Amino acid sequence: MMRNKIFFLFFFQLIFWGCSERMDLELNDSYARLVVEATLTDQANQQVVRLTKTAPYFTEQPSSGVENALVTLRDEENAWLLEQLGPGEYITPDGFRIKSGKTYHLEIDHNGILYEAFSKTPAAVPIDSLGFRPHPWLSDHYEMIIHFQEPGETRNFYKWKIYHNEKLLTNIPNKMPFSDDEALNGRYISAPIYIFQPEDGIPQPGDTIRTEMYSITEGYFDFMIAMRRYQGATGGPFTGPPANIPSNFSNGALGFFLTAGVSQQSLVLE
């Protein structure tokens, strides 16, 4: 809750009080690289690995899918070949499920180049209950409170997906709260994780709020931090020089391969 909350909320947004207007900017283009989006959990059945390419920064086209790649998923014993579902979409076999504690290996063979990544699946951590209350100092804002026992024996990293009446509010990574357990290790946690903004519609009595808590890897945590850090503004005296968002793939592919244990909890508001 710490690292990201304090640092990002206050030290980048606080100083954002300039005026702005659209500007035209010419940017150089770089060569196209493979981008992999692969988050596999111990929950759902069939899950999708998405392959796209990098594009010029100001392109108006959505990224096109990479076709005819060979996508293989392995654990210590087995191997599964993922079937191509649509352009750039490769689906895990029916009945396949990630197991916590196991290390998985994702291999992508595209145009004769091999890209690979590994992920050791952190176990899901159960959530006891959720709470809902007004934000202490932002008017008309509300907070979601989470109560759970943080496991003491392991280093843990989390991200949360938040739903309001089954509508996903954290629909992009940068809206998703995430945290490590530094300073919290082994504690019983009762803390706010999400702020409901008035413009998204504040949950009313009778509404359901729900969260999915992903146990993520340390590498993915760093990946989330970098995505948030280099989103948006550059060139100001406070932003510092941007750097590329790290990836766990070999051979210069971007994106991330994560296997995660997921727990969930919901609350019907009174």
Partner 1 sequence: MVFSCPGLVAEEKGRALLRGLVTDASSTESLPGASIFVREAGRGTTTDVEGRFQLYLPEGNHQVEVSYVGYQTQVLHVDLKNQAFITVTLSRGNLELSEVVVEDHRSGAHVERTEMGVVRLPSQTIRQIPAMMGEVDLIRSIQLLPGVQSVGEGSTGFNVRGGGMDQNLILMDQATVYNASHLMGFFSVFNNDVVKDINLYKGNIPAEHGGRLSSLLDVRIREGDMQTYRASGGIGTISSRLMLEGPIVQDRVSFIAAGRRSYADLFLPLASDPNIQGHKLFFYDLNTKINARLDDKNRFQLSSYMGQDVFRFGQQDPFTISWGNSTHSLRWNRIMRDDWLLNVTLLYTGYDYSLKQEGAGTNFIWDAGNKDIGLKTDFGWFPNENNTIKFGFSSLFHEFNPGIFRGIDDDSMYDAFGSTGSNALSHALFASNEQKVNDRWALEYGLRFSAFQSMGPSTVYNFDEQYNYIDSTEFGRGEIYNTWWGFEPRAGLRYTLNAQSSVKASYNRTLQYLHLASYSDGGNPLDIWVPSSKMVKPQIGNQYSVGYFRNLELNQSIVESSVEVFYKSMDNQIDFKDNAWLMLNPKIEGEFRFGQAWAYGAEFLLRKNEGRFHGWISYTWSRAERQIEEINNGNPYPASYDRTHNLSLVTNYELSPRITLSATWVYTTGAPVTLPSGRFEYGGQINPVYTERNDYRLPDYHRLDLGMSIRSREKPDRNFRSEWNISLYNAYYRKNTWMIDFRSNEDQKGQVDAYNVYLFPILPSVTYNFYF
Question: Binders of partner 1 among 65-84, rule CB under 8 A?
Answer: none
Mask of contacts with partner 1, 144-163, x by CB under 8 A?
--------------------
Alpha-carbon separation of residue 267 from 143, 199, 206, 210, 263 (angstroms): 13, 21, 10, 6, 14
Alpha-carbon separation of residue 158 from 31, 127, 174, 217 (angstroms): 34, 12, 14, 8
> Which of residues 138 and 268 has its CB atom nearest to partner 1 in the complex?
138
42 has which bridge partners? Answer: none
Nearest to 157 by CA among 210, 102, 215: 215
> Which of residues 97 and 188 has its CB atom nearest to partner 1 in the complex?
188
Shortest Cβ distance from residue 3 to partner 1 (Å)? 8
239 binds partner 1 (CB under 8 A): yes
Site for partner 1 in 198-237 (CB under 8 A): 222, 225-227, 229-237
- Binding segment toward partner 1, per CB under 8 A, in 29-37, 73-81, 99-107, 261-269: 29-37
- Binding segment toward partner 1, per CB under 8 A, in 119-127, 169-177, 194-202, 204-212: 169-177
Beta-carbon contacts of residue 232 (< 8 Å; ≥ 6 apart): none
Question: CA-to-CA distance for 34 and 255, rounded, in angstroms?
Answer: 8
Pair 104, 73: CB distance under 8 Å: yes
Amino acid (one-letter) located at 260: A
Mask of contacts with partner 1, 173-202, x by CB under 8 A?
xx-------xxxx-xxxxxx----------
> Which of residues 11 and 268 has its CB atom nearest to partner 1 in the complex?
11
Beta-carbon contacts of residue 247 (< 8 Å; ≥ 6 apart): 36, 117, 223, 253, 254, 255, 256
> Which of residues 150 and 207 has its CB atom nearest to partner 1 in the complex?
150
| 8-state DSSP, 171 | -
Q: Which of 19, 95, 153, 206 binds partner 1 (CB under 8 A)?
A: 19
Q: Which of 104, 142, 256, 257 binds partner 1 (CB under 8 A)?
A: 256
Shortest Cβ distance from residue 40 to partner 1 (Å)? 14
> Which of residues 124 and 189 has its CB atom nearest to partner 1 in the complex?
189
- Binding segment toward partner 1, per CB under 8 A, in 74-82, 137-145, 200-208, 212-220: 137-145
Query: Could you tell me how many residues make up the chain?
Result: 270
Site for partner 1 in 103-132 (CB under 8 A): none
Orientation of helix 218-229 relative to helix 2-13, angle to 10°: 10
Question: CA-to-CA distance for 178 and 229, rounded, in angstroms?
Answer: 13
Q: Which of 46, 56, 126, 218 binds partner 1 (CB under 8 A)?
A: 56
Q: Which of 120, 242, 251, 268 binds partner 1 (CB under 8 A)?
A: 242
